[in-house]
Structure 1
Amino acid sequence: MSVYVIAEAGVNHNGSLKLAKLMIDKAKEAGADCIKFQTFVSKDIVTKYASKAKYQKQRTTSSESQLDMLRKLELSFDGFIELKKHCSLRGIEFLSTAFDLASIDFLNSLGILRWKIPSGEITNLPYLIKIAQTNKPIIMSTGMSTLDEIEAAINILRQNGSGEITLLHCTTEYPAPYKDVNLRAMKTLRERFKVNVGYSDHTKGIEIPIAAVAMGATVIEKHFTLDRNMEGPDHKASLEPDELKAMVQAIRNVESALGDGIKRPTESEIKNIEIARKSIIAKRDIKKGEIFTEENITVKRPGNGISPMKWFEVLGKTAVRDFKEDELIEL
């Protein structure tokens, strides 16, 4: 199964449909399988009293509320209809995370193939039930969550008819410190819940998602932006298009290199066996009838003669003919 790479556009379009379409183009060029946006009705997901996270305050107008910030980043439902059409034209899967019940109904009406549940909704019971009842596959991020919270969410989803569930390990900080990543938690999730696992990355650079693929991630999600210097909450923790392309290529290289786990000479190696291995050869000129000893035979390349693993079988045997120095020994 090929690693499913989600280019997380999120709200990095800054509320511009034009920028969002350009992001679709760039995600396709980078080789991502999917581009993911965020669908929400601002007034339905945050109160007017909710403050912004520290990283959001640093990268947006400091005086505005979280609600004010989200209103500037919100796209209309009609806008998402356009984006889905643009994805179809470009040949990349459209995906968007719903953050409220109305957005779930809307995205379901668009016929999206799967759901992406963000870390913040893992304890939202009505939300989980509504998504599960669509019977579609689910990718769920687990940032900030305990194992018990994850188990409770999985049980709710399954009890309400969800499709296959994939869990993404995640560290909900932007950017996430390397010391807090704990990639080995992917193995814990896989073993505890018997599901496919992946990784939603918020670190700087591309090293950690590549490492996650080497550790068995089946899904990688990574924020990207057209320009990290743009104003907005997530740009600084995102990849620019060339970096996204490099990450996707590295992931494809790693998944190709993982192979099937069977240890055997590969097709590319076989031609080098004779060159790299050694054979038993004449250490000096040897006359017919001489006994082979450690004084007259040794081991050198190439490896197209008698294997040195048969050293003790050759010692004590009689030379069947004359051998020149460096000639392969024959019995």
Structure 2
Amino acid sequence: MKPEISIAGRPIGQDFAPYIIAELSANHNGKLETALKIIEEAAKAGADAVKLQTYRPDTITLDSDADEFKIKGGLWDGRTLYELYEEAHMPWEWHKPLFEHANKVGIPIFSSPFDTTAVDLLEDLNAPAYKIASFEAVDLPLIRYVAKTGKPMIISTGMADAEEIQEAIDAARSGGCTQLAILHCVSGYPAPAEDYNLRTIGDMIERFGLVTGLSDHTLDNTTAIASVVLGASIIEKHFTLDRNGGGPDDSFSLEPGALAALCRDSKTAWKALGKVDYGRKSSEEGNVQFRRSLYFVQDVTAGQTIEKEMVRSVRPGYGAAPKLLDQIVGKRAKIDIASCSPVRLSDLAD
């Protein structure tokens, strides 16, 4: 039996359409009204859920400008961790109105907590699930604390090796989590498609036996849609109103049109997978007549022996199958047969 979980009543697994998570992350850019609008647009695009990140700068790092607290290279080069998270964090007082707005527009909302106090806040808001971010996949005490809520948990595995992934799974299980999923992830922002090694998804499914998906940081939808063919049941993508908005995550996030395309195209890819089936499909029925079959290319009189040059394999498909040609040659016509008539075995005799 294929593994599955359920979030807010929506079943998730390979037997169901991909579960699309719109990651709001830091794309609010310090404005509550922007965050509210992102939720609305995620719902309009057809996403299955919207996800927040719940932390304060002092719950995720220390206020230090020591060298090890400075970011080197990439989008955020030169900034301290505290400065970045001060700008990017979702104010805790916003969570309640965001949850209320998501309920109003009809899209489930949950979050990635980064410490136990964040879990407590989200429990007060009755979050239906939890996501463990890649950087926190090694924080086993946090995973166990989340597991004790009894809610479904999704663990992102960016930077984690197979042993660390297993440790995170074991921590979730030991804490009481019964509905667990993992996401293949590359923690680059953005990440090049060639880094994703999507064949890993199939190995993860076989190795860990869990609902498995993709946290995708590439710039378009190709990698995410391809992952569905390899068994991904969840796709998480950062989502923004404007990729040129100037926020820390905007540049590698999807805009509304691209998110709608992801929701549509990933489901099309899933439907196309179908099942092993060599039978004739409903869309083919009208074209069966255009297959090749055997037709007479000469007039034939009753009693005449059929010779090979009298018959050809042509379209349409109303005559005998071409594979029967050798059986037909040498038989005699029972009746007069006009040229351009289909070969019918009932008109022939040995």
**Shorter-chain TM-score: what band?**
over 0.9
Offset of 1:225 from its aligned partner? 1.1
Matches of residues 211-222 of structure 1 in structure 2 within 5 Å?
Answer: 211-222=226-237
Aligned equivalents of 1:193 and 1:53: distance in 2? 34
1:194–1:53 distance in 2 versus 1, CA, 3 Å: farther
Residue equivalent to 2:151? 136
1:145 and 2:179 matched = no
In 1, Cα distance between the equivalents of 2:72 and 2:300? 83
Report the counterpart of residue 258 of structure 2 in structure 1. Answer: 243
1:293 to 303, 307, 313: 307
1:4, distance to aligned residue in structure 2 (A)? 0.2
8 Å contact kept, 1:41–1:100 = no
Does 2:298 align with 1:279? no
| Partner in structure 2 of residue 328 of structure 1 | 342
Distance 1:314 1:199 in 2: 57
Q: 1:230 aligned to 225, 242, 245, which one? A: 245
Q: Secondary structure at the match of 1:243?
A: helix
When the two structures are aligned, how many residues end up with a matched partner?
A: 326
CA distance in 2: counterparts of 1:112 and 1:215, whole angstroms: 30
Provide the identity percentage. 35
1:93 aligns with 2:88: no
Q: Which moved more, 1:81-90 or 1:290-299?
A: 290-299
Aligned equivalent of 2:326, options 283, 305, 312: 312
Match of 1:302 among 293, 303, 316: 316
2:217 maps to 202
The one-character-per-residue Cα deviations of 1:248-269 (angstroms, maximum 9, x if unpaired) are: 2111211121112322211111
Cα distance in 1 for residues equivalent to 2:30 and 2:117: 19
- Is residue 308–residue 329 contact of structure 2 (8 Å, CA) maintained in 1? yes
Partners of 2:47 and 2:302 in 1: how far apart? 68
Post-superposition shift, 1:53? 5.4
AA of the residue aligned to 1:167: I
Structure 2 spans left out of the alignment, 5+ residues: 1-15
Provide the C-alpha distance between the structure 1 equivalents of 2:322 and 2:76, rounded to a whole number of angstroms: 69
The CA distance in 2 between the partners of 1:75 and 1:201, in whole Å, is 21
Q: Cα deviations across residues 205-256 of structure 1 (Å, max 9, x unaligned)? A: 1111011112211000011111112222211111111111112211121112
Quickly say closer, same or farther: Cα 1:253–1:75, change in 2 above 3 A.
same
Aligned equivalents of 1:248, 1:54: Cα separation in 2: 33
Higher alpha-carbon deviation: 258-267 or 203-212: 258-267
Q: Give every structure 1 segment of 4 or more consecutive aligned residues whose post-TM-superposition deviation is greater than 6 Å.
A: none
Deviations 1:101-138, CA, capped at 9 Å, x for gaps: 10011112211221111111111021011011112211
SS at structure 1 position matched to 2:24: strand
Residue 97 of structure 2 corresponds to residue 78 of structure 1:
no
| 8 Å contact kept, 2:88–2:248 | no
Could you tell me which runs of 5 or more consecutive residues in structure 1 were left unpaired when the two chains were aligned. none
Q: Residue by residue, what CA displacement relative to the aligned partner does 1:69-111 show, whole Å, maximum 9, x if unpaired?
A: 2222323333111111111111111121111110011112211
Matches for 1:53-64 after TM superposition, within 5 Å: 54-58=73-77, 62=78, 64=79
TM-score under structure 2 normalisation? 0.89
Whole-Å separation in 2 of the counterparts to 1:294 and 1:187:
53
Q: Is the 8 A contact 1:323 1:329 kept in 2?
A: no
Could you tell me how far apart the structure 1 residues matched to 2:335 and 2:230 are?
A: 56
